[in-house]
A = this chain, B = another copy of it.
Amino acid sequence: MAEAIKGPLDGLRVIDLTRVLSGPFCTMILGDLGADVIKIEPPKGDPVRAQGTMTEGHSGYFAGFNRNKRSVVLDLYSDAGKAVLRRLLAEADVLVENFRPGTLDKLGLGEAAVKELNPRLIVASINGYGSTGPYKDRPAFDFIAQAMSGFMGVNGEADGPPMRAAPPVSDLVAGIYAALGILASVIGRERTGQGQTVEVAMVNGLLSLMAYLSSEYFATHKVPARTGNDHPLVYPYGLFTCSDGQIAVANSHDQILTRFLDTLDLGWVMSDPRYDSNPKRMAAREELRDLINGRMAGKSQEHWLGILNKAGVPCGIVQDLAQVFSDPQIKAQEMVLQAPWQDGPSQPVLGFPVKLGSTPCAIHQPVPQLGGGTEQVLAEFGFGSEEIRQLVEQGVAGSR
């Protein structure tokens, strides 16, 4: 007991065929939790290695999605490369891929073949729409998944267009769900002795976040209206203007609203016959907004955040990324880390959203250089040094 381990997933071997975004996010999460993630890259590497702003020749975008992995270059177009992959998979726990549906079959890794090779292997796939159904062969992209899932349609101003979220939320949510499905399958394998397939579609993942918007639609058959930053049913709620900028205030029910108005010395509003019910306040939005802004204008964001939070009113500022990364709470939560590159500089990356008490997430592997783990990994999987030399010489495997 209490031996030093890398994280709760220490010892879990993950063969990672993914590239770009959703898949690498999934496998980074597994790596952060201690899994041994082996990123198989084509000789030219994951295209993200060449994307985004470079610092000393290193992509911060790549670093942000690929710490805690080792890189093995394999030419999977060659039969010899496929054979190497099969030897890795025979001793691995998990395979993750984000190709279009059908690609694994073309690699000779269809479900039946995998079962024969390694019945304990868990095979996780991330794709746009799912591998069955009329759209299974459609090309996927985050912007399209946001549109098709209903997510874009509910976001934006009441009189404006539907609005996407700028971060690629459909990719990332699918990546988290895939990691979750993999871990559930690892647990299930203890019981069944068998691996299984795990599939997450970007559209389905984002649709699963439609929450009460979907339950209201099911109950009423009314499509929810866009309401910008305002709450569809409650006022006052939203953005208000202090002397030096806006603050966001979430007066989600009357008890909180009372605290909010009391703090502003506007407690009388709740018993004023013009405003003494939520429907009246919704109807008098503009008057109330002016009243509140008039009171807030005299003091700073910091002033109001201090006393409103103390009073139990959920509030904050709309932070830009410069503010986020200098925020004392974000720092206290260690949400920015320095990730070292293998034989290279360190770059800032986002920290771990899951905080574990005893076996915390950590950076236990640097961001890999392309092929920087080829020889080490192949040796660990039982390849002899002469064999490795030949594979590299033939261009089947690539080493730095």
Contact = CB atoms under 8 A, between A and B. Distances in A.
Interface in A236-285: 237, 239, 248, 250, 252, 256
Interface string A182-220: 011111111111101111110111011111111111111
Interface string A222-238: 01101111010000010
Contact of A321 (B5, B180, B191, B224): B224
A156 interface: yes
Contact of A163 (B163, B192, B331): B163
Interface string A1-19: 1110101111110000000
Interface stretch (A83-91, A168-176, A287-295, A380-388): A168-176
A227 B60 contact: no
A176 to B, nearest CB: 5
Given A133-B328, A198-B355, A324-B149, A350 B207 contact: yes
Contact of A227 (B149, B166, B196, B319): B166
Which 4 residue pairs are nearest across A and B when measured between Cβ atoms? A8-B188, A133-B332, A197-B357, A141-B314
Given A224-B166, A229-B164, A329 B135 contact: yes
A143 interface: yes
Nearest to A142: B250
B210 A350 contact: yes
Interface in A121-158: 128-130, 132-135, 138-145, 147-157
Contacts of A350: 207-208, 210, 214
A300 to B, nearest CB: 17
Given A141-B314, A153-B320, A166-B224, 5 more contacts: A9-B187, A130-B355, A135-B328, A166-B213, A171-B211
B147 A5 contact: no
Contacts of A320: 150, 153, 223
Interface in A81-124: 111
Residue from A200, A252, A312, A319 with most neighbouring chain B CB atoms (10 Å)? A319
B325 A217 contact: yes
Contact of A165 (B1, B165, B331): B165
A348 interface: yes
Residue from A5, A63, A139 with most neighbouring chain B CB atoms (10 Å)? A139
A318 interface: yes
Contact of A184 (B9, B165, B315, B321): B9
Contacts of A318: 147, 152-153, 162
Interface in A305-323: 309, 312-323
A57 interface: no
A193 B25 CA distance: 29
Nearest to A8: B188
